Amino acid sequence: MMNAHAQTVQERFSREAGNWNGLYDQTPTRSIYTHNVRHRKAQALELLAGTTGRVLEIGCGAGNVILAAPEELETIGVDFSVEILRQAKVNSGERDSEFLAADALSLPFADDSFDAIICLGLLDYITNYRSVLEGCHRILRPGGPLIVSVPNLTSPFIRIDDFGFSLKNRITHSLPDRLRTWLKTQVMGKDDKPYFSHRKQRYNPAVFTQNLDSIGFDIDQTYYHTYGFGLLNGISLNLKVSRQIESRNRSKTLEKLGWTYILKATKSPQQ
């Protein structure tokens, strides 16, 4: 049975199903969040290059990443939001991709059944992330890559955002309902949607890679990206600075300040 936390996350993504394509299309954006999602997709597809065979995306959403994989791959996507999977099936068009409702903590696949796995943005919402990684290891063939992304706990951008949003939410939650609704709709220009109360998980890259290693993965490549503030979302300069750092950064120290940590890890060959 789904716990309250999982149900909250599922309901949130089901409500957002109709908006998912807009995050990934090529229209110009000033949103640092949209930029992060698009950059993460591009990086994942680059890391997937050269893969053959059967590829699974866990937490596939509307299929915007897996459907951009090379046509010669056999592509399967799983998500636990039925509404968003309906959008994925529409997006697939004539492509022979498969989309299934499944829980990332209990993947319904045989051992060693995939040549590659993609898992982007999913672990933000899962407390027992090691179980997901162990499940990926089980169903991935030896030598197959896992491409996974997580929010970077050590990023000052994330730390400042988390503090600022936490403070803002404490203030707004203390307001009378009518005043809060007026501020959201009339002053801030937002829809009066329910608050998404779940606190996203953050990951120390060093600890995360140690866990992958202990499960049986070899780390191949690591990258960081997105250098801006969610608190300044929609401000052009915020996004411009992030793009400048991403295009010109040559410092490993500076690179590690990025929001998102994305890596390619290979399942160690069986002994």
Beta strands 74-79 and 145-151, pairing class: unpaired
The stretch 243-260 carries a mean pLDDT of 85
> Taking the CA of residue 269 as centre, how many other CA atoms within 13 Å lie in the half-sphere pointing to its CB?
1
Q: How many CB atoms lie within 10 A of CB 135?
A: 18
Residue that wins the pLDDT comparison between 155 and 188: 155
Helix 4-15 to helix 82-92 angle (10° resolution) is: 40
What pLDDT score was predicted for residue 193? Answer: 58
What pLDDT score was predicted for residue 271? Answer: 45
Distance CA 66, CA 11 (A): 22
Q: Is the dihedral of CA 134, 135, 136, 139 positive or negative?
A: positive
Query: Given a cut of 60, is residue 14 above it in pLDDT?
Result: yes
Query: Of the candidates 14, 243, 260, 13, which has an alpha carbon nearest to the alpha carbon of residue 121?
Result: 260
179 sits in which H/E element: helix 177-182
Sheet arrangement for strand 217-225: 98-101, 74-79, 54-58, 116-119, 145-151, 260-267, 217-225
What pLDDT score was predicted for residue 200? Answer: 78
pLDDT confidence tier of residue 3, bands split at 50, 70 and 90 = low
Distance CA 153, CA 259 (A): 8
Residue that wins the pLDDT comparison between 215 and 181: 215
Query: Given a cut of 90, is residue 253 above it in pLDDT?
Result: no
Tokens at 8, concatenated: 């909250």
The stretch 113-134 carries a mean pLDDT of 95
pLDDT confidence tier of residue 178, bands split at 50, 70 and 90 = confident
> Taking the CA of residue 128 as centre, how many other CA atoms within 13 Å lie in the half-sphere pointing to its CB?
11
Q: How many CB atoms lie within 10 A of CB 5?
A: 13
pTM of the model: 0.88
What pLDDT score was predicted for residue 117? Answer: 98
List phi, psi (to 5°) of 255: -55, -40
Distance CA 108, CA 143 (A): 21
Write the DSSP assignment of 112-132 as a string of letters: T-BSEEEE-S-GGG-S-HHHH
Query: Given a cut of 50, is residue 113 above it in pLDDT?
Result: yes
- Across all residues in the chain, what is the average pLDDT? 88
| pLDDT digits 0-9 by tens, 223-246 | 999 999 999 999 999 999 999 998
Query: Given a cut of 70, is residue 158 above it in pLDDT?
Result: yes
What pLDDT score was predicted for residue 9? Answer: 67
**Quick one: how far is CA 58 from the chain centroid?**
10
Query: Given a cut of 70, is residue 257 above it in pLDDT?
Result: yes
Query: Given a cut of 60, is residue 194 above it in pLDDT?
Result: no
What pLDDT score was predicted for residue 71? Answer: 93
Query: Given a cut of 50, is residue 196 above it in pLDDT?
Result: no
What pLDDT score was predicted for residue 238? Answer: 95
- Beta bridge partners, 224, equal 261
Write the DSSP assignment of 74-93 as a string of letters: EEEEEES-HHHHHHHHHHHT
What pLDDT score was predicted for residue 183? Answer: 67
Where are the extended beta strands (E) located within the chain? 54-58, 74-79, 98-101, 116-119, 145-151, 217-225, 260-267
